Structure 1
């Protein structure tokens, strides 16, 4: 098949046709691994996709989650991978959380599910004070706890918008953490994922931000499960991880450097809360199994080819990575179409999708090569490319 390149040319590519077989781990994993999953649209029910609530194919969306659970992975629900604030609103996210928690309770593995609580049911014009932001968080936290989910305190655009200072973050997060029924996961999302989060923790420089977050964690360590850091900076994560109080986990959100961070340095390691794990689930599950069995060679052999794929999916502008996650879901037959809430599939170019196709094949992540090839041809034809 002729595939487009970033140089504007067409190059022939032949699939290897050697996919990994999804399966459950044979041993207990030694790392907690949450895969952040996307939402699958129902294009037949979609109405006014840019202005109204997204139409969700609930059967396909929940079926995708079951596949992750069947492979021994936990789930980070209704996070930025699910297009929170980028096509998926809070009412849809809440229904997603409620449906997912019901499915998780019925699943034989009783998988861990953590759910994103934020402030996105209100507009920034409604969130001009700390009290208003606090009340908004409480609304979503209460709904998640009522559904039986663990809380992830998602970063909110509202705090940078009101130019909150370090003391404001400390006061707000302190209240939210102490009010939660169970230990929470904090969420540090870099501005490469959402430019509106620039200056989060009330600081423009990373050293000051570190101090703010570490002070919050130290004060409330008993009520904090861990912190997810998505800054795409391995050295920063390793340095920050070494300063955490005992018992507080570092959940890597680094979709570029997850393999060495999860393996660790022999003294400390990261756990995982990653969007890419939804796309590379068979490799992730089987690599973590190898790690649990002390087989470092297999661990790296499985993860190594997924890294170029992840770097391509999360290339700048990083916030458009969701399109690559849904694209691979379509290629692998876990959804029947490549339509996303808000038409988000148009956020990436055809050369990108061609490169994702190549790299997914090389990472052994196209589960049905014939189906993937047929679907790739249809996408190329839509772009006026034959081959």
Structure 2
């Protein structure tokens, strides 16, 4: 049976017939050749007031169920990252509960995939977002980081030292970044993941590492890593510039990972070359989880043709979801989770479901179909048709 609906595309209504074959869904073991984290979103409680500015109220059943879904596909979870709306609706009290609940359910990662040490398959964002907006002394920024680092230590999760708006506002130059990170790295009981998020994801992070020049910023962070070898597991880079990422990757000390956060160029960066490759810490992996799991298995099996075949149609989808303004990509992640039955409604904390227009979501739907990541096409059509009708479109 052909499935179709009318979509608002190219300024008009167009009857669209679904063409995609869903990527086979099953359970997978964690990849052997790469470490792969999916940055997971949170599901808003549909019975709560999750309007802009209101305290976040989370639907714990579906939020944790989505994490179990990611783990079942062999992916690890990057918890409480910007994908989970840190700084865009998810407040610190809700974040603490999210981290505790997720870490309590996280399975362990096989030693062979973790450098000989068995650890939980979860890493958690450590930031400073409990501080109110404004400029704070560096010691206050450090104190906020330390409070969140203590929580990561308490739950036994790997820390991801998130790029901090407060630090970006307070720092007078690279030396202030070194001061803050040196203090934090000396306190962590396990190697951390650093986090470099470009200003396209968060304009408040413009000039991170103390320079507007990406090349100069790369000098600062590579020096910081070199001075703290053994305390840094790797660095997540989200600059949407594959050449800059590869240049940084080639400068990292032996044993320090580059976790790609490039949601535009991830297939080639993860594939790498004969000498270097990137591991993955990606928001798009939450949206394309079955495809990501299948592609990584193909990579493990040495079947590069199948790896490319699976990932290739996901790239246009990723570029659509992460199109400008990029920080609204979270809306696309939640939209696809709703279409695929992972949450009961298309709502987000902070009311962020309004961050994308119906024509934008229609193109997202079309590209998700082409990529084979609408795991239940009948459900997806039924749900999106209802949303279009509410929006005034006879679908």
TM class, shorter-chain normalised?
over 0.9
Confirm or deny that 1:170 pairs with 2:178. Answer: yes
Is the partner of 2:125 in helix, strand or coil? strand
Q: Retained in 1: the 8 A contact 2:160–2:192?
A: yes
1:349-364 matched pairs, under 5 angstroms: 349-364=357-372
Q: CA shift at 1:106, angstroms?
A: 8.6
Structure 2 segments unaligned to the other structure (5+ residues): 111-117
Q: CA shift at 1:110, angstroms?
A: 7.5
Root-mean-square deviation (CA, aligned residues, Å) is 1.6
Residues 61-105 of structure 1: CA deviation (Å, up to 9, x unaligned): 000000000000000000000000100011101100000011115
Q: 1:64 is matched with which residue?
A: 66
1:1-387 matched pairs, under 5 angstroms: 1-5=5-9, 7-16=10-19, 18-25=21-28, 28-44=31-47, 46-47=48-49, 49-105=51-107, 112-125=121-134, 128-387=136-395
Q: CA shift at 1:28, angstroms?
A: 4.4
Counterpart-to-counterpart distance in 2, 1:280 and 1:49: 28
Q: Retained in 2: the 8 A contact 1:16–1:361?
A: yes
Is the partner of 1:76 in helix, strand or coil? strand
Provide runs of 4+ in structure 1 moved above 4 Å. 105-111
Residues 236-283 of structure 1: CA deviation (Å, up to 9, x unaligned): 111110000001000000000000000001110000000000000010
Counterpart-to-counterpart distance in 2, 1:107 and 1:57: 26
After superposition, the Cα gap between the structure-2 partners of 1:27 and 1:379, relative to the gap in structure 1 and judged at 3 Å, is closer
Q: 2:113 is matched with which residue?
A: none
Q: CA shift at 1:27, angstroms?
A: 7.6
Is the partner of 1:267 in helix, strand or coil? coil
Q: Retained in 2: the 8 A contact 1:69–1:111?
A: no
Counterpart-to-counterpart distance in 2, 1:294 and 1:141: 38
Q: Retained in 2: the 8 A contact 1:73–1:111?
A: no
Q: CA shift at 1:144, angstroms?
A: 1.4
Q: Retained in 1: the 8 A contact 2:50–2:349?
A: no
Counterpart-to-counterpart distance in 1, 2:200 and 2:238: 9
Q: Retained in 2: the 8 A contact 1:253–1:274?
A: yes
After superposition, the Cα gap between the structure-2 partners of 1:180 and 1:25, relative to the gap in structure 1 and judged at 3 Å, is same
What is the TM-score with the length of structure 2 in the denominator?
Answer: 0.94
What is the TM-score with the length of structure 1 in the denominator?
Answer: 0.96
Report how many residues are paired.
384
Counterpart-to-counterpart distance in 1, 2:19 and 2:270: 28
Structure 1 segments unaligned to the other structure (5+ residues): none
Counterpart-to-counterpart distance in 2, 1:346 and 1:208: 37
Counterpart-to-counterpart distance in 2, 1:112 and 1:348: 32
After superposition, the Cα gap between the structure-2 partners of 1:27 and 1:294, relative to the gap in structure 1 and judged at 3 Å, is farther
